[in-house]
Amino acid sequence: MELRQLYYFVKVAETLNFSEAARSLFVTQSTLSQQIKQLEEEFGTALFVRDSHSVSLTENGERLLPLAKRTLQDARDCQNQIRDLQEMVSGELIVGVTYSFCPILTETVRNFIDSYPGVKLRILSRSSEELISLLRKREVDFVLAFKPDESYDDIESHTLFNDRLSVILRGDHPLAGRSKLSFKELERQKIALPAKGLQARNALDRRVDIHKQNLDICIELDEINILLDIVQNSHLLTILSEATIHHHKEKLRAIPLDIPQNQMEGCIHVLRKAYRKRSAEAFVKLLRESNEINERIQRWL
């Protein structure tokens, strides 16, 4: 039995389609079928039920699938650990980041690239739900996102800094000098909201029923940069985390929203009991030491 054969088996089991699996593996369908047949012969049992219209796992195939995934992950962990022992850091680091976190990563990314040029760094921006799913599938090494209200048994969350939902507006807006703002004070303003699924909107919806507020919501957007650009070039207001405007502080202001339990925790999320690359530890260390994070920590002391 070879790891390649287990990898082929897992891909077919996930797609339940030999043609699709072969395309994703960049092998011919006949090569894939031959490797699966050899695996079945070695185990002495059929792993798939095949007919002219569909493919499904046998009972033994169902039992093998989680074992095969664990074996492949153990092999990847072994490669990562040996590579880390050979060099300080190497390979690839994949960081999942929510849209609200992106603005406070510039310094860390720059310092990491300068300090560890041998590591290929990939930053994936997605919604928090998508990132947690990628983390569980080990398709990202860790996730930077605000702490969700619900807890996950398989995921650890370590707090980096505290933040809060804020009304985002231009520095020359009549309300820009306020120390906090209530929904009542926003009733005569035009509002541009982040769309459902974005973490700031999820946090807002968990705290209040936004549609019961007497607000003039004229647009909802799922792209934070466009949302900030609209606010920066108009008198529309939006509601986001304060950290979101890190690179727009010259033109935009963040006024805390006056609602109960308005604190948000910026966190590092990691999979429990999973191997942690030294490159990941190095990135997190640089992040904790960055001015962008320390500025937020000092603000709450």
- Phi first, then psi, for residue 64 (nearest 5°) are -75, -30
- Within-domain flag for 187: yes
238 and 152 share one domain: no
Per-residue pLDDT of the chain (301 residues; tens, 9 = 90+): 788 888 899 999 999 998 898 998 899 989 989 999 998 999 999 999 988 788 999 999 999 999 998 888 888 877 777 766 555 556 889 999 998 888 889 999 999 999 888 889 999 998 888 999 999 999 999 999 998 877 888 999 999 988 899 999 999 999 999 999 999 999 989 999 999 888 889 889 988 998 889 999 999 998 888 999 999 999 999 999 988 888 888 899 999 999 988 888 899 999 998 888 888 999 999 999 998 888 776 665 4
Which amino acid is located at 123 in the chain? I
The contacts of residue 237 (CB under 8 Å, 6+ apart) are 167, 168, 169, 173, 175, 186, 189, 190, 191, 192, 231
134 and 268 share one domain: yes
- Within-domain flag for 81: no
Q: Where are the alpha helices (DSSP H) in 16-165?
A: 18-25, 29-43, 59-86, 106-115, 128-136
90 and 53 share one domain: no
255 and 176 share one domain: yes
- Within-domain flag for 76: no
What's the pLDDT at 85?
A: 55
Helix (H, G, I), strand (E, B) or coil at 152: coil
Q: Kind of pairing, strands 91-97 and 119-125?
A: parallel
237 and 296 share one domain: no
Q: CB–CB of 239/167 below 8 Å?
A: yes
Give one DSSP letter per residue of 163-219, joined into a string.
Answer: EEEEEEEETTSTTTT-S-B-TGGGTTSEEEEEPTTSHHHHHHHHH--GGGS--EEEE
61 and 113 share one domain: no
- Within-domain flag for 78: no
Domain total of the chain: 3
Which amino acid is located at 291 in the chain? N
153 and 177 share one domain: no
Give dist(CA 27, CA 31) in Å, integer: 6
Q: CB–CB of 101/243 below 8 Å?
A: yes
Helix (H, G, I), strand (E, B) or coil at 66: helix
Domain with residue 66: its CATH number is 1.10.10.10
Give dist(CA 176, CA 223) in Å, integer: 23
What's the pLDDT at 301?
A: 45
- Within-domain flag for 53: yes
Q: Is the pTM of this model over 0.85?
A: no
258 and 272 share one domain: no
Q: CB–CB of 49/56 below 8 Å?
A: yes
Domain with residue 187: its CATH number is 3.40.190.290
Which structural domain range is residue 38 located in?
A: 3-70
What's the pLDDT at 274?
A: 84
- Within-domain flag for 290: yes
208 and 269 share one domain: no
37 and 179 share one domain: no
Helix (H, G, I), strand (E, B) or coil at 222: coil
Give dist(CA 74, CA 45) in Å, integer: 24
185 and 138 share one domain: no
Domain with residue 287: its CATH number is 3.40.190.10
Q: Helix 18-25 and helix 3-15: axis angle, to 10°?
A: 130
Residue 106, number of CB atoms within 10 A of its CB: 13
97 and 156 share one domain: yes
- Within-domain flag for 77: no
Kind and range of the H or E element at 64? Answer: helix 59-86
- Within-domain flag for 79: no
Q: CB–CB of 123/115 below 8 Å?
A: no
